[in-house]
Chain A
């Protein structure tokens, strides 16, 4: 009797926690959705802002965000993969590697604005890339480096030792084993890491604040050395400009909705990729 009561109580507590979490999540989506949907239109998605950002659209910000993410991933992916492969497959196990691993994990905990300052010092000033798409993309790339390294390491470590041995026993070299057996088996995990880090890159504001972001541009960026607009920063810009609060707030909600949908779509892609790989080979 008493045990049953405790169980019911426990269950109720767990269930209401879940319900509350879902409620918060859905109200965010609903809130942003309803307000954002009012301004969402073809014009909004395809045109540049006009009349002090009270009309027109956010197309340059969408394009800018896309380019920033592209540069970030192109830069960080090869580097992160190489690090992860070296750490998991080649380096002698021991305290040095453990130390590096802890270091990388801690890098993931550094506040993003610190990366912004770092990017300003290194890319903007020292390497003289200026406030540009390139500086911002590279800064974002460094930001997600630990995320991809960790995901890739986890994925590599999850590949069973027995199939590495099988490959080597056939007379494959270690590199052949890594490239043809280990990496393909680790691919779903690595892909998920990539997609999640794209989600992260797309949503970050602080790292591009001093390195890439433009308050307001009429057109699209012309080269990697141009300043860019980006969705998260554009929201910030709209809300702090304050010349036409009413219209600009509306635009900001529209912009948020676009960003939210983008991030959701990317997460959905991650889930999809993972499921598809699982279905093919249950590693």
Chain B
């Protein structure tokens, strides 16, 4: 039977030390759709999506309660290898973070650590993912140059390409356009719509228009709680909760 739910969070509480960052979050991320997560700064959006690929394992003194399932499998069960989860659930961060290596190596690295050995295959996949990330035309002449010489928007698309190369099933974007100009932002939004065909996507954003443009479903977080979640169209036209309405219309105190 086809299960439309890719990732399921059930009653998730999360603490940094004794400060609670997430309170009883339950939500589904549907397969093949874009889920936007919106909410004011500090409400726990990053914390939440960083749980989905176990990036918060790296933060000391944290406590998690509840469950997160990836295709029915509890990703926090002791039998699960976090490395394996991160292979299946890729992430693009708020600030572009290319490795201090060449453009080519930035992408080849992910392939190599995932067991690719054949240089031809690696080369082929590097080119393919650069094309997918709409960066190929701009860098095809200088694949051996340092990735740090690229502009911010190009670096972010390189990070997306790097993530796509290892073929994850889910893509997590944490404010991918936060440090980009409108043109780069438009390019990345276009890209997300393109990627939707092949991946399940979750995107954190502060930009209401962006959420409206790229997402199918939207979740509104406030102070660590999930206030409301539903079809993007509904959330933006007829929110059920007063607080959601206040936030999306910009009347938030």
- B197 CB to closest chain A CB (Å) equals 22
Query: A280's closest neighbor in chain B, by CB?
Result: B146
* A282 partner residues in chain B, CB cutoff 8 A: 148
- Say yes or no: A93-B97 contact (C-beta < 8 A), given A170-B113, A171-B86: no
A-B contact pairs, 26 of them (CB 8 A): A93-B60, A162-B93, A162-B95, A163-B98, A163-B100, A166-B99, A167-B113, A168-B58, A168-B83, A169-B53, A169-B55, A169-B90, A169-B93, A170-B110, A170-B113, A170-B163, A171-B83, A171-B87, A171-B110, A172-B83, A172-B113, A180-B109, A180-B113, A181-B99, A185-B100, A281-B101
A203 to B58 alpha-carbon distance, docked (Å) = 43
A283 on the interface (CB 8 Å rule)? yes
A233 to B148 alpha-carbon distance, docked (Å) = 48
A92 on the interface (CB 8 Å rule)? yes
Tell whether, in the assembled complex, residue B91 and residue A169 are in contact, meaning their CB atoms are under 8 Å apart: yes
A103-117 interface code vs B (CB 8 A; 1 in, 0 out): 000000000000000
A172 to B112 alpha-carbon distance, docked (Å) = 9
Tell whether, in the assembled complex, residue A173 and residue B83 are in contact, meaning their CB atoms are under 8 Å apart: yes
- A220 CB to closest chain B CB (Å) equals 43
- B81 CB to closest chain A CB (Å) equals 9
| One of A92, A163, A172, A281 near B97 (C-beta < 8 A) | A163
Tell whether, in the assembled complex, residue B93 and residue A166 are in contact, meaning their CB atoms are under 8 Å apart: yes
* B98 partner residues in chain A, CB cutoff 8 A: 163, 166
A245-283 interface code vs B (CB 8 A; 1 in, 0 out): 000000000000000000000000000000000001111
| One of A170, A171, A176, A283 near B100 (C-beta < 8 A) | A283
- Residues of B134-181 at the interface with A, using a CB-CB cut-off of 8 Å, are 146, 148, 159, 162-163, 166
Taking residues whose C-beta sits less than 8 angstroms from the other chain, chain A's interface range is 20 to 34
Query: A171's closest neighbor in chain B, by CB?
Result: B87
A165 on the interface (CB 8 Å rule)? yes
- Say yes or no: A162-B97 contact (C-beta < 8 A), given A168-B55, A170-B162, A281-B146: yes
A232 to B240 alpha-carbon distance, docked (Å) = 83
**Which B positions have Cβ atoms within 8 angstroms of A?**
53, 55, 58, 60, 83-84, 86-87, 90-91, 93, 95, 97-101, 109-110, 112-114, 146, 148, 159, 162-163, 166
Tell whether, in the assembled complex, residue A165 and residue B166 are in contact, meaning their CB atoms are under 8 Å apart: no
A281 to B146 alpha-carbon distance, docked (Å) = 7
A163 to B109 alpha-carbon distance, docked (Å) = 12
A171 to B53 alpha-carbon distance, docked (Å) = 10
A74 to B252 alpha-carbon distance, docked (Å) = 63
Query: A176's closest neighbor in chain B, by CB?
Result: B113
* A93 partner residues in chain B, CB cutoff 8 A: 60
A219 on the interface (CB 8 Å rule)? no
- B223 CB to closest chain A CB (Å) equals 25
Query: B87's closest neighbor in chain A, by CB?
Result: A171
Tell whether, in the assembled complex, residue B87 and residue A160 are in contact, meaning their CB atoms are under 8 Å apart: no
* B55 partner residues in chain A, CB cutoff 8 A: 165, 168-169
Tell whether, in the assembled complex, residue A166 and residue B159 are in contact, meaning their CB atoms are under 8 Å apart: yes
Tell whether, in the assembled complex, residue B166 and residue A171 are in contact, meaning their CB atoms are under 8 Å apart: yes
- A167 CB to closest chain B CB (Å) equals 7
Tell whether, in the assembled complex, residue A163 and residue B99 are in contact, meaning their CB atoms are under 8 Å apart: yes
* B159 partner residues in chain A, CB cutoff 8 A: 166
Tell whether, in the assembled complex, residue A92 and residue B53 are in contact, meaning their CB atoms are under 8 Å apart: no
Tell whether, in the assembled complex, residue A169 and residue B86 are in contact, meaning their CB atoms are under 8 Å apart: yes
Query: A93's closest neighbor in chain B, by CB?
Result: B60
- B198 CB to closest chain A CB (Å) equals 18
| One of B86, B97, B101, B146 near A160 (C-beta < 8 A) | B97
- A92 CB to closest chain B CB (Å) equals 7
A171 to B115 alpha-carbon distance, docked (Å) = 11
With A170-B163, A171-B83 already in contact, 10 other A-B pairs whose C-beta atoms are closer than 8 Å: A163-B98, A165-B93, A166-B97, A168-B55, A169-B93, A170-B86, A170-B166, A171-B113, A185-B99, A281-B146
A172 to B148 alpha-carbon distance, docked (Å) = 21
Query: A172's closest neighbor in chain B, by CB?
Result: B113
| One of B83, B113, B148, B162 near A281 (C-beta < 8 A) | B148
* A160 partner residues in chain B, CB cutoff 8 A: 97
